[in-house]
Structures are given as C-alpha cells and as structure tokens.
Structure 1
Amino acid sequence: MYMKKIIFTVLLISTQLLEAISFSHHDWEVVCDNTNTCRIVGYSTYYTPLPVTVLLTIKAGAKQKINAKVQLGSFGEETENVFSKLPSNFKLNMLINDKSYGYVTISKNELISPLSQQQTTVLLNSLKTTSNIVWKIKEHTWKLSDKGSSAVLLKVDEFQKRLNTTGALYKKGKQSEKSVLAPKPIPIIHAPRLSSSKEIQLNPLLMGQLNKELTLNKNDCYDIEQLDKKVTLYQLSNNKLLATKACWMAAYNYGSAYWVINKQAPFKPQLISTEANEYALNENNIGTLSASHKGRGIGDCFSHASWVWNGKTFQQSYVGSTGQCRAIAGGGAWNLPTLLTNIKRK
C-alpha cells in the first residue's frame, strides 16, 4: 500500500507530468513521457514458470517506426535450470499462432534481444486479436500474454492522436497523419558544478534553532517520532545549504526529508521531498537528490525519481519506473520514464 502512495506522490511533484500518461490493463501497460514518446510493455501471465516481456517504443509524430525488444525472465529455480543447459548465446524461434517468424539471439549475460522490423510488425498485428505468441528452444517455451494488449494499443492511439489514421497502432483508418501529436524536445536544466558533498557543521545554538524550523507533517513522515532525529547539512552555495533527516521507514523502503535552507538564521527551510533517500554529486559534480523504491521485497520492480540543484532550488529531473512486478530481472525489467530532462553544467 505504501508503494502506491510513493508513486502517486512522486507523479504529482511536477506539473510537467500532467503531459505524461500511464495506463495498464491485464498483462499490458503503456507509459508515455513528457516528449510524447510511448513505451508499451507486455508480460507473461502471473506465475508463469518461464516469464517473458516485450517493450515496444514509438515516438510521437507522423511515419514513426516501432522499435521492439524481447526479454526473458531470470528469477526462479526453473529459469536457472533451463539457462544452465543452454550455451552462452542461443537462438529462440519466434512463433505466432504456430507459424515461425524467424529467430532472436539471446545472450545469457543480458537476456534481451531486439526484434527485426518484420517481427515487430507481425507481433503488433497479432496483438489486435487473440493470438498465441511464444519464443521457443527445444522443449522450453516462453509465452507472451495478449490479454489487455488491444486496450493499451488503443490508449496509445488516443494519446498520440493516431485514431483512424494510416499510422494508428490499433484503430487504423484512411486519414493522414498531419494532425497526429508532435514530439516535444527534452527540457534542459542548467546546473552549477559543486566542489564537495562532504557534511558541514553548524554550532549547537544554530542547530537548535534550525531544528525548530524544520517542521514535518506526520502524514508525510508517519513514524517520525521513532526515527533518528539527526540533521545532516551539505553546502550548496555561498548562502544556501541542504538539510536532511530521516522521515519514514517501511518494510523495504525508506525516505528522508530534504530542505534547502539559508546558511544563516532565519533558515527559512524550503521542503523539496520526503521520498528521496540519497544525496550525492553526479559524474559532472552536480548536486543530485535521488529516490529509489522497491515495489516488493524481491526487488524486481522499482520506482525512481531525481532532482538536481540548479543554483536556486532542486528541480525535478527524472521520474520513472521499471514496469510491473513480474519476476523478470533484479532491479526491474525496463526503463519507463514519465519525465526526462537533459542536464547541462553552467
């Protein structure tokens, strides 16, 4: 239940996300980001011994090709037994309604393979009706569910305004694509280089005053009384600091509260997030807050978000998930963003 709260809270943080959509039906889902690119994901049915998933990506705009990938699940004793008997690289026969459409080459190091354009087209057409979609080697079969695919393809047509056009995924027609949704550029965030992410200290008198100003809502930090009350500080600029302390802890997730504050009293804290759980400098020495939360204990699905210091505040720079909890891969199967940005150093 708390995971749902996390995702909902993260998705509400930025008004830019009002332009993105996320929709799921049975074994299929679609996530469209702020550039209007849509990522369609299908899975095997729940608890299938040999699970498989596909990712179909289509950008906004006319005459767009769909890129498709297939990924085999790596969780469970049965999958381990099957892979142990296969070579490092092996070929799977792609069969739709018992007809072969060629092979895909899978490496045991990654378990992902692109589909050819022909395979992608045939797969897409098969998703519009009841179909038997499998990848097979010897007696081992990975079966993709078609349940929910039609509704998801229709949702993409609606979002990208392809309904009744020649380029529609599901509901094709004779209309041209001149009025389909146009792609949007990835927003740019300009961020300064920071010299250090080391903790800094204030004298006890100032820390006492700061603690009085760092107020939290118990709805956001529901077990705050039981958590460590230590406040940690980091330098952001000559007159701004980042303050953080523990906020909440669940079975396998946790979050801290992060504020931007004045370096001198009065501190006037600006709350950035109660979901983030890490602050660090990235490879370009840009101050970055990150939130990463499991969907369940085995860690096969995550939600992610990040914010970067732009010199005035922490601006949201990424929101996304790894898709549904379907025992595909440790850390999640796919990267499904709803908010993308390009970060450039000032």
Structure 2
Amino acid sequence: MRFRSLLPAIVAASCLAHSAQAQEVLPGLYFSYADWELACDNTGTCRAAGYQRSADAAPVSVLLTRRAGPGQPVSGQLLLGERVDAAARLPPVLALTLRIDGRDAGSVMAGRSNVALPPKVLGALLAALPGTASIAWTAGTQRWQLSGEGAAAVLLKMDDFQRRIGTRGALLKPGTRSEAQVLPATPVPVVNAARWVSTTPPDAHWAQAQAAPLHQALRASLGEQDYCPVLDDAAAAPLTVRRLDAQRLLVSARCWAGAYNVGDGYWVVDAAPPFHPVLVTTSGSEADEPAIVASQKERGLGDCRASDAWTWNGTTFIHTSSATSGMCRMVAAGGAWNLPRIVSDVRPAR
C-alpha cells in the first residue's frame, strides 16, 4: 500500500472537517513532477529535492532550501546513495566534481552523509537545472547522474508559493520588481503540550455497557474521506479507551491494514453518551503521551516514509507536524530528507 497516495487525502479531510482544532497557520504545500518534488511548510520555507532518473542509476539527491521573505538565499545539500553494493565502495570522504554537459563546474568533498554545496557549485547547479543540460557528479570512474526533468516546474512552483515570480529574486521568470511584497516568513507556531490526567481506562462494566452506542457514534463521526470500514462491524472492532481528563476519553480502533502499514483511528470523546466524538486521524501508528503519531512506509523497501503528529494541548489534539522523507529512490534507508508541510515548536508539558 503506497501511503503517499493516502496521506494528502487524510490530511486534507482532517483539516477541512476539523478546522476548529487547528491553529490559523499558512497552509503547507506538496508538489512533484517527474524526478523532482517540493514541500513548503507553514512558515513559508520551501524545500525542493531532485533525484537520479531511474531506479537502476546510481542513487543521488540534491536538496534546495529557501526561507520565505525578501532577500533570502537558496542553500543546497548533496547526498549520495546508500545502496549496499555502492556504499561498500565509498570512502568516508571523496572529492566530487560537478560536471555540466561534461564541463567542470566546481568540486565538493562528500561521502556517506549529506554535504553543503559551496556557493560556486550551487550557482552552477541552479543555472543548469531549468534547462536540458546533463548534470553529473563524478569521482574517478564513478558517476552519479542527477536528473533535471521536473526541476523547472518545481522551482517555478517554489517561486509561486513564495510570491517571487517577476521579482529580482525569482529562480524562474525573474523580473525587475523588488522583493518587498514577497511572502513573509511566518513564525513557527508554539504548542504547549499537556499531560493526560490518567491513563487508567473506564472500568470493564462501563466499556461493556457503552460499546454499542460508542461504535455507532464513532461511525457517525466519519466524513466521506475518512477510512475506517472496521467500524461497520462492532464485534470486529475492539476499542481501546484511555482517559485524557475527568470529562474526556481517547478512543482508538484498528481502521485498516496493508502489506506493510496499519492505520489506527483516534477520537476524543465525552465520557458519557452521546459522546460527541471528534476524529483526530484514521492513520495513527501509536499514541504516546502527549501525542498521537502516524509513521508509514511509502513502500515495502523502507527507503521512503510519511509521518504526522497530533499533540494534546489540554483541550484538543493539534496537528503539529506533517512530513515526507522524499521520493522512493533508494538514496537512503528511511528516506533521503525531511520535507515538512507542517512544523511546530512543541513545548513539553509541565
């Protein structure tokens, strides 16, 4: 089960159906085209990542990051792939040469972890990406070919999100306008986490007496985009109940299972009928005070993941993080990068 196709629908539905739970923040963005992808978060920071063209080529990725606001520079990082057959031949550090259409465009010392691109190399790379030039990193006979297919569309989308099109700072379609009116940076939202008053569930008598009406209430809370078919059969959907405070409970049920992922539904409910359930997510992996976490492989090889977290603030669960680790291109175990759409400064519960 590819989770990338499921996550945007879940996130969008959660944000729309339960917008009262969320803070007013800049909406994040995810966009991909060919071998490039873009994630812009709720502070306005954008991260664009590009990869090799095919799964058979030597894995490589470049990450371009730019904060919102006037005069913000682009930074770049390079990561060589970790495939077992290649990693065994890579020394901890090696001298790489950037070659654009076969010509030397600068060098960088790299190895088994990501490395910052120096200004000369980054400038040459940014100039080459929108066109059709061949872009490769070489070390002796070894070669890592970076695809430029999709780069122009992604960089244009980054400019559009940050309102730089037509300004002197635009990467694509620059103009003569100043950057005075570009998207300003938004501060990272602060969320003060709260403790769950008690993890002791209601007693067995309560659970037995309320099981049927609680199942019914949970089913009724689902929107068109919320996926939890197991609730159609109360006998097949055992509920886990934990106490958040004297008046509210956290209820969970296994909503779905795939080849290498599972998704649990989580609801905040009143401790007495009619419960008034509020859905947090149907894709959770675990609940560990003070947060509910979703962490899903995007394919069985485990070279790419999607993750989300919702933090209890004493009143509701706030969607405090949402990210992908990048495309499934065998660049690194668990994924090449952290590409967030939602970031937060979560302060520990006192």
TM-score scaled to structure 2, two decimals?
Answer: 0.87
**Are 1:311 and 2:314 counterparts?**
yes
Cα distance between partner residues in 1 of 2:85 and 2:235: 43
2:242 to 219, 227, 234: 234
The residue number in structure 1 matching 2:227 is 220
Q: Give the drift of 1:195.
A: 6.6
The residue number in structure 2 matching 1:254 is 262
2:93 to 89, 92, 109: 89
The residue number in structure 1 matching 2:195 is 193
CA contact (8 A) 1:95 1:133 kept: yes
Higher mean displacement: 309-318 or 202-211: 202-211
Matched residue type, 2:107: Y
RMSD: 2.4
Secondary structure in 2 matching 1:170: coil
* Number of residue pairs aligned between Structure 1 and Structure 2: 334
The residue number in structure 1 matching 2:73 is 65
CA contact (8 A) 1:227 1:247 kept: no
Change (3 A) 1:199 1:124: farther
Change (3 A) 1:170 1:183: same
Change (3 A) 1:6 1:158: closer
2:170 to 168, 188, 196: 168
Cα distance between partner residues in 1 of 2:305 and 2:139: 30
Cα distance between partner residues in 2 of 1:13 and 1:144: 36
Matched residue type, 1:48: D
Higher mean displacement: 313-322 or 202-211: 202-211
Change (3 A) 1:268 1:181: closer
Q: Give the drift of 1:23.
A: 1.6
Change (3 A) 1:203 1:84: closer
The residue number in structure 1 matching 2:40 is 32
Q: Give the drift of 1:6.
A: 3.0
> What percent of counterpart residues are identical?
34
Cα distance between partner residues in 2 of 1:50 and 1:125: 23
Q: Give the drift of 1:335.
A: 0.8
The residue number in structure 2 matching 1:149 is 151
Q: Give the drift of 1:21.
A: 2.0
Matched residue type, 1:41: A
CA contact (8 A) 2:81 2:330 kept: yes
Change (3 A) 1:294 1:186: same
Matched residue type, 2:268: V
Secondary structure in 2 matching 1:13: helix
2:292 to 275, 282, 289: 289
Higher mean displacement: 306-315 or 262-271: 262-271
Cα distance between partner residues in 1 of 2:12 and 2:322: 7
Cα distance between partner residues in 1 of 2:157 and 2:321: 23
CA contact (8 A) 1:17 1:339 kept: no
**Are 1:299 and 2:302 counterparts?**
yes
Cα distance between partner residues in 1 of 2:67 and 2:235: 45
Secondary structure in 2 matching 1:275: strand
CA contact (8 A) 1:213 1:268 kept: no
1:335 to 314, 335, 338: 338
Secondary structure in 2 matching 1:212: helix
Secondary structure in 2 matching 1:19: coil
CA contact (8 A) 1:295 1:302 kept: yes
1:292-331 Cα distance to aligned partner (Å, 9 max, x none) = 1221111111111110111111111111111211111121
Point out where structure 2 has 5 or more consecutive residues left out of the alignment. Answer: none
**Are 1:134 and 2:146 counterparts?**
no
The residue number in structure 2 matching 1:284 is none
CA contact (8 A) 1:228 1:246 kept: no
Structure 1 runs (4+) greater than 6 angstroms displaced: none
Q: Give the drift of 1:17.
A: 7.4
Cα distance between partner residues in 2 of 1:268 and 1:151: 45
CA contact (8 A) 1:199 1:232 kept: no
Higher mean displacement: 168-177 or 263-272: 263-272
Point out where structure 1 has 5 or more consecutive residues left out of the alignment. Answer: 282-286
Question: Greater relative contact order (Cα 8 A, min sep 6): structure 1 or 2?
Answer: 2
Cα distance between partner residues in 2 of 1:270 and 1:223: 18
CA contact (8 A) 1:17 1:338 kept: no
